[in-house]
Structure 1
Amino acid sequence: MNRSDSILDKPLTRRRVLGTGVAGAGLAMLPWQTALAAKMDPQAADKAMIKRAIPVSGEKVPAMGMGSSGSYERLSSSSAEELRTVMKEFVAMGGTLVDTSPSYGNAETNIGNIARETGVREQLFMATKVRKTSREATLDQFRASIDALGEPIDLLQIHNFIGLDNQWATLRQLKEEGRVRYIGITHYLTSAFDELEHQMATKELDFVQFNYSIMTPDAEERLLPMAADHGIAVLVNRAFNDGRIFSETKGQALPEYAKEFDCFSWAQFALKYVLANETVTSVIPATSDPEHLRDNMHAGYGKLPDAGQRKRMRETIAAL
């Protein structure tokens, strides 16, 4: 394609190498690492964050990502400080993949500003979305995302099928020009699985994003096997069922057997269940609470449950 035919007129800027985060860089242990090591199996305590390969390229990303719906949408002076801590510790604990969308209030702008303020933007694998029905509106929205988040945009996704039939060619051209590195589609409802299955079978997707959890495991039957067969990376949303896992487990003791796979909270219980399926590339819970962020990120360290343990986990949740 000639430069004069470029889909965008803004020049492409820098490229950075993944995997250069703070964690695993041979630095002295941070307080969270010391606490984690005290709990985990000694043979697992010194291991880095679990990483999974993106099938289309082989590039590896951390299994624990971070979403932004609700958490980064609105800022006050106190919440901004907490989110700066969340962002810094997310990267320090081995995270890189941040998922956002123009539909999440001011999340893109807030994420971009906080990432730059904390000096971690270069280390982030940035995923966002478009949700427009016309080509020009899609390009305008993408330009706005670049202005808010900065470059590069690593993953661009069509949000909840909006404009999918018309705009897939636009995303493909953006990828061909190197404006984005990967493209995909998203949804968050089990009722969308039929359409997701169709799109996964008929389009050359790099990524697909859908809901999957220990409480809603339907994706195990259809979408996860299809993603494995077609070589599509998987981002998982709603791993906590919009917080339902915490209301169901409130006041309940974590089962003793959870220690067998380095699990020490109900949040880790839910996240490790999802990550135990090796087709899952990354799970993206959102939080604005630094302590919750640390708890979530611990799920990406140590052992994951095997098939027998996963069955036992499902039985535990069903019995609550």
Structure 2
Amino acid sequence: MNRSDSILDKSFTRRRVLGYGAAGAGLAAMPWQVSLAAQIDAAGGDQAMRTRAIPASGEQIPVIGMGSSGSFATRSESTLADLATVMKEFVAMGGTLVDTSPSYGNAETNIGNIARETGVREQLFMATKVRKRSRERTLEQFRASIDELGEPIDLLQIHNFIGLDNQWATLQQLKEEGRVRYIGITHYLTSAFDELEHQMATKDLDFVQFNYSIMTPDAERRLLPLAADHGIAVLVNRAFNDGRIFGETKGKELPDFAKEFDCFSWAQFALKYVLANETVTAVIPATSDPEHLRDNMHAGYGKLPDADMRKRMRQTMRAL
């Protein structure tokens, strides 16, 4: 079985939920497993995490990925133990795409070590970045990422336009040589949208990554339609506005209508809003907290809000 086949075959079913504890990790069934299995039964049987196709290839990836900025950079043994739990449960709940960068402290080191130690490395769709200005330094940084994360590197991205003109040709060559499977660019600021729009229109990108959320929906007007037109996969960062949404919603009850699209927390409210735009390939929230990870992953299951419901969601946020 080739790498692409293995990704496509990792559907997450009720049997996998119930089997993970005893067979997969030697643990008793966890509360989230039982509650998720009950939700799946209520929905009418086996249910896989939602996936979407990468336009460049048709390969399907789960819609909830995992970022690592601010979450995987640590040397604390207790935090590393939590991160190991996060990684195992991310995969058990249907996740594959992990997004990282050499600039995120020692995140690459921790991700690589944990993925190997927990036995999930072959199940991951690994995305990382380069942020050097010369070809030589770019290749040096790429080799260092391979040493930390292992191969394959599925997606290599130019981080925040750094050395963009020099690096793009290098990334194209790495793809042609089969060293990476997909290439793209990233940014995290709305102020970068003009440049993102130009690059999306003029380069043959497989992926683009940018910020998009219910609180900052600017990408709906320009970047998401452009990505759809050009067949570019979209990774969304800052779906929680760096946690600001939780400050806005603290102590506030989730509206009753959220249950209509299988939403049971403010985190899921934010993530399902983003995923309701079908041009979004995956959203990549970062966390080092296993409970937050479980909450985030549930957003990849069940219904998504339609256009009328998204309007109600925006009205709810404005009224808080």
Q: Name the TM-score, length of structure 1 as normaliser.
A: 0.93
Query: Tell me, which stretches of 5 or more residues in structure 2 are unaligned?
Result: 19-28
Q: Which has the higher contact order (CA 8 A, sep 6+)?
A: 1
Greater shift, 167-176 or 40-49, is seen at: 40-49
Equivalent residue runs for 1:157-236 within 5 Å: 157-236=157-236
Equivalent residue runs for 1:1-320 within 5 Å: 15=3, 17-21=6-10, 23-24=12-13, 26-27=15-16, 29=18, 31=30, 32-39=32-39, 42-43=42-43, 46-320=46-320
Shift of 1:63: 0.1
Query: Greater share of helix residues, 1 or 2?
Result: 2
Distance 1:76 1:20, change over 3 A: farther
Amino acid at match of 1:18: I
Distance 1:254 1:44, change over 3 A: farther
Conserved 8 A contact 1:132-1:138: yes
Distance 1:287 1:28, change over 3 A: closer
CA distance in 2 between counterparts of 1:252 and 1:44 reads 31
CA distance in 2 between counterparts of 1:214 and 1:189 reads 15
Q: How many residues align?
A: 307
Conserved 8 A contact 1:36-1:45: no
Amino acid at match of 2:43: Q
Q: Name the TM-score, length of structure 2 as normaliser.
A: 0.93
Shift of 1:74: 1.2
Shift of 1:38: 3.4
Conserved 8 A contact 2:157-2:185: yes
CA distance in 2 between counterparts of 1:128 and 1:20 reads 23
Amino acid at match of 1:224: L
CA distance in 2 between counterparts of 1:205 and 1:28 reads 35
Distance 1:246 1:25, change over 3 A: closer
Shift of 1:42: 1.9
Match of 1:61, SS? Answer: strand
Conserved 8 A contact 2:131-2:138: yes
Identity of paired residues, percent? Answer: 80
Conserved 8 A contact 2:134-2:167: yes
CA distance in 1 between counterparts of 2:37 and 2:17 reads 13
CA distance in 1 between counterparts of 2:17 and 2:49 reads 16
CA distance in 2 between counterparts of 1:114 and 1:253 reads 36
Query: Tell me, which stretches of 5 or more residues in structure 1 are unaligned?
Result: 1-13
CA distance in 1 between counterparts of 2:68 and 2:77 reads 18
